[in-house]
């Protein structure tokens, strides 16, 4: 593999710290590069700072120290609106607009961008199909008329709507049952093969990280432990990594219960 050239780095964290007004530090001295077309998984337990890191990328938060570069430009040098329209964002709590139909929810950014209605409509149908929701049944429904998993898929469709080159996905498949989850993970891989978007994907599920990530960044209480390829991750001697792997092995052991 050739060394990444500078324009290969779509997102770069340079010595980034994020501190609350009260002084509590949520992220300290984070350094991380995300390359074009890769799926970087942020893995870490609850409260380790994954969501905070994502919000620094689309400038929902601004670093207290250091800087986050997107396409080589500090987020603070971007026009915030332009930056955010450039980045698809699937938020952890989904956050669909309760007063909009599914059609309007998914078509929101294209609408803001002033696409003609026919094109928005076609795009929305295409996306709903993509996330496995039959357009005819879902277009005119409201979010409250959907199950949690269906809402989550609408959230993914909405983030993809204007075909942004960058995607931030915060536990996008968290509320899905294992079967649907496995299905949509497969779809994600197939899609990623085709679209080659740059994705930052947050999860605390190691299996999901190994399956979807080209690289895995492990976080622990606001610090980056390390960045690994899936193979490296499984072989790493780092105790924080081995603890993770062991926990999942134990869970797997449960599958063998009651077998001869």
Partner 1 sequence: MSVLEFLKSFLEFCAHNRAQVSALFLEHLWLVGVSMLLAVLIGLPLGILVTRHPRWNRPILGSANVVQTIPSLALFGFLLPAPWLGERADRLAIAALTLYALLPIIQNTCTGILGVDPAVREAARGMGMTDRQMLFQVELPLAMGVILAGVRVATVITVGVATIAAAIGAGGLGEFIFRGLAMVDNRVILAGAVPAALMALAADFLLGRLEHRLRQTS
Ligand X SMILES: Nc1ncnc2c1ncn2[C@@H]1O[C@H](COP(=O)(O)OP(=O)(O)OP(=O)(O)O)[C@@H](O)[C@H]1O
Nearer to Mg ion, 4 or 47 (CB): 47
Q: Name the binder of 204 from partner 1, ligand X, Mg ion, none, CB < 5-8 A by kind.
A: ligand X
The yes or no reply on residue 21 touching partner 1 (CB under 8 A) is: no
Nearer to partner 1, 68 or 241 (CB): 68
Q: Of 64-103, which residues contact Mg ion (CB under 5 A)?
A: 92
DSSP string, 33-92: EEETT-EEEEEE-TTSSHHHHHHHHTTSS--SEEEEEETTEEGGGS-HHHHHHTEEEE-T
Q: Of 132-171, which residues contact partner 1 (CB under 8 A)?
A: 158
* 30 contacts: CB under 8 Å, gap ≥ 6: 13, 15, 16, 17, 53, 66, 223, 224
Contact residue for partner 1 among 34, 102, 109, 154 (CB under 8 A) = 109
The yes or no reply on residue 60 touching partner 1 (CB under 8 A) is: yes
Centre a 10 Å sphere on the Cβ of residue 115 and count the other Cβ atoms it contains. Answer: 17
Nearer to ligand X, 135 or 226 (CB): 226
Centre a 10 Å sphere on the Cβ of residue 121 and count the other Cβ atoms it contains. Answer: 16
Contact residue for partner 1 among 77, 81, 190, 251 (CB under 8 A) = 81
Q: Of 50-69, which residues contact Mg ion (CB under 5 A)?
A: 51
Contact residue for partner 1 among 82, 114, 178, 179 (CB under 8 A) = 82
Minimum Å distance from CB 118 to ligand X?
Answer: 39
DSSP string, 131-145: TT--HHHHTT--GGG
Q: Name the binder of 52 from Mg ion, partner 1, ligand X, none, CB < 5-8 A by kind.
A: ligand X
Q: Which residues bind Mg ion (CB under 5 A)?
A: 51, 92
Q: Which residues bind partner 1 (CB under 8 A)?
A: 58, 60, 80-85, 89, 91, 93-99, 108-109, 112, 158
């Amino acid at each position: 593999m050739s060394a990444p050239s500078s324009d290969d780095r779509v997102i770069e964290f340079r010595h980034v710290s994020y501190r609350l007004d009260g002084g509590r530090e949520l992220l300290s001295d984070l350094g991380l590069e995300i390359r074009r077309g890769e799926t970087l998984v942020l893995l870490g337990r609850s409260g380790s700072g994954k969501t905070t890191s994502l919000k620094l990328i689309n400038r929902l938060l601004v670093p207290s120290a250091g800087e986050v570069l997107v396409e080589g430009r500090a987020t603070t040098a971007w026009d915030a609106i332009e930056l955010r329209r450039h980045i698809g964002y699937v938020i952890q709590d989904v956050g669909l607009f309760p007063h909009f139909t599914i059609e309007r929810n998914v078509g929101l950014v294209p609408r803001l961008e002033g696409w003609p209605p026919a094109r928005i409509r076609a795009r929305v149908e295409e996306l709903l199909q993509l996330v496995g929701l039959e357009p005819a049944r879902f277009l005119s429904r409201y979010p409250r008329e959907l199950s949690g998993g269906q809402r989550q898929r609408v959230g993914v469709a909405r983030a993809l709507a204007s075909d942004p080159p960058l995607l931030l996905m915060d536990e996008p498949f968290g509320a899905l049952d294992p079967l649907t989850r496995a299905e949509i993970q497969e779809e994600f891989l197939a899609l990623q093969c085709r679209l080659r978007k740059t994705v930052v994907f947050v999860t605390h599920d190691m299996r999901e990280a190994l399956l979807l990530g080209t690289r895995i960044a492990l976080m622990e209480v606001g610090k980056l432990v390390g960045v690994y390829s899936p193979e490296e991750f499984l072989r790493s001697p780092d105790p924080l990594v081995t603890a993770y792997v062991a926990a999942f092995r134990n869970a797997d052991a449960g599958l063998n219960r009651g077998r001869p």
